[in-house]
């Protein structure tokens, strides 16, 4: 599974720039707020967490360049 550290950071910046809270994000995706927080913080790095990160990048059109 790909490393999602850069993606998580880009998502957190996007959320801050667009004034979207983790609670709002959890509501939008029908998830638990704690799971969203754990996924974005990297405390959970399961395949489901990685899939969620990739989904957010695609859904919000966040630019993602490989280093």
pLDDT per position as a tens digit, 22-60: 999 999 999 999 999 999 999 998 999 999 999 999 999
Q: Is-contact 49 39, C-beta < 8 A? A: yes
Q: Which residues contact 1 (CB under 8 A, 6 or more apart)?
A: 45, 47, 50
Q: Which of 18-22, 46-50, 62-66 has the lowest mean pLDDT?
A: 62-66
Average pLDDT over residues 6-28: 95
What pLDDT score was predicted for residue 64? 66
What pLDDT score was predicted for residue 5? 74
């Amino acid at each position: 599974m790909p490393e999602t550290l850069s993606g998580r950071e880009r998502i957190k910046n996007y959320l801050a720039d667009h004034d979207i809270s983790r609670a709002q994000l959890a509501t939008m995706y029908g998830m638990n707020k704690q799971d969203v927080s754990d996924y974005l913080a990297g405390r959970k790095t399961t395949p489901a967490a990685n899939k969620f990160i990739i989904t957010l990048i695609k859904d919000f059109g966040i630019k993602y360049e490989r280093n």
